[in-house]
Every structure is written in C-alpha cells, then in structure tokens.
C-alpha cells in the first residue's frame, strides 16, 4: 500500500509540473523561420551625371549566418548602363534588430564582396532598411553612389 501511495504522489507531482508549463506561443515567426528569404524588386542607382539607373526584377536574398551575421546578396545586378557584366554583390555583417516579425537593418563602412573578393572602392555606408509585411526596403551608398532597393518576398 505504501508503494501505491508513493506512486500516486509521484504521478500527481508530475502532473502538477506539466500543468505549469505555459504555452506562450504567438503568431510571431521564430528566428528559425526568418533566417533567410528572397525578394524581387527594383534597384535604383543615382549616377554621377545626375541621372538615375533603374534595374527591374532584381533578386535580393538575405540570410542570418553564424560567421557573417546578417548578409544581403544582390543577385546579377549592374549599377550603370555602361557596366559590361552583371554580378552578385554580397554585403556581410549588416546590423539588425528583430522585433516581432519586423527586421530593421543598419550598417556603415562595410566592404562588399563580388567576383571572389573584396571591393573596398565601393564601401557600403549609410545602409538602412526594413523587412516587414513581405517587403524589403533598403537604401545605402555604394561608394559614392546612392542606391535603393524595394521588393516583395518571392513565392517559395
């Protein structure tokens, strides 16, 4: 009989601890759900002659990695109508703050990567942006050229 009472007490204690486990789930995505995404949109670059160069259907990916932090990748972009090739430009170590489902971006003096190496001539300054409601909006100076990207999340 003592064993039965002891077993019953253990079961009651276990049920009490299980009942105390709160289910605090909400509708906000977890960091694991927001570690990467792709956006398609328009890239505009202010040219030195005062004109604006626009490239449509640009794909920008972001990823949060252990080694390079928050990374933006501009895929197959050109920054001028005179540019002979399109390239992928990676901007590593962008500062970010995630509040709920919104991510705020910031960065200054970041050396971008392209064509297998660093491009210090085109250092990224004054980077600001947001990811919210399925959109990415980011602006920055790439070297001396102001540029802006606005896009919507690509369907997966």
pLDDT computed for residue 34 by the predictor: 58
Give the position of tokens 């077993």: 7
- Confidence (pLDDT) at 156: 61
What pLDDT digit, counting tens, does each position of 89-99 carry? 999 999 999 99
Least trusted range by pLDDT, from 23-32, 106-115, 118-127: 23-32
Query: Rounded to an integer, what distance in angstroms lies between the CA atom of residue 4 and that of residue 1?
Result: 5
**Beta strand spans in 8-153 (E):** 36-46, 52-65, 69-77, 87-99, 102-107, 113-114, 117-118, 124-132, 135-142, 145-153
- Given its phi and psi angles, is residue 63 left (phi above 0), alpha (psi -120 to 50 degrees) or beta? beta
Pick the CATH number of 31-153 from 3.30.460, 2.40.160, 1.10.20, 3.30.70: 2.40.160
pTM for this model (two decimals): 0.77
Annotate 71-109 with b (16+ C-beta within 10 A) or e (fewer): bbbbeebbbeeeeeeeeebbbbebebeeeeeebebebee
Segment 31-55 shows an average pLDDT of 87
62 forms bridges with which residues in the sheet?
A: 37, 72
Q: What is the mean pLDDT of residues 62-76?
A: 94
Banded pLDDT at 155 (limits 50, 70, 90): confident
Parallel, antiparallel or unpaired: strands 87-99 and 102-107? antiparallel
């Amino acid at each position: 009989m003592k064993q039965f009472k002891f077993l019953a007490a253990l079961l009651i204690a276990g049920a009490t601890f299980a009942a105390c486990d709160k289910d605090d789930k909400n509708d906000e995505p977890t960091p694991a759900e927001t570690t990467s995404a792709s956006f398609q949109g328009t890239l505009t670059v202010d040219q030195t002659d005062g004109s604006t160069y626009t490239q449509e259907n640009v794909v920008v990916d972001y990823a949060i990695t252990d080694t390079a932090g928050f990374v933006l990748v501009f895929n197959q972009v050109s920054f001028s109508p005179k540019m002979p090739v399109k390239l992928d430009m990676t901007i590593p170590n962008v500062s970010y703050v995630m509040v709920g489902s919104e991510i705020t971006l910031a960065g200054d003096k970041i050396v971008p990567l392209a064509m297998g190496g660093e491009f210090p001539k085109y250092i990224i300054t004054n980077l600001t942006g947001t990811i919210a409601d399925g959109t990415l909006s980011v602006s920055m100076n790439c070297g001396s050229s102001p540029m802006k990207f606005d896009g919507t999340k690509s369907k997966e």
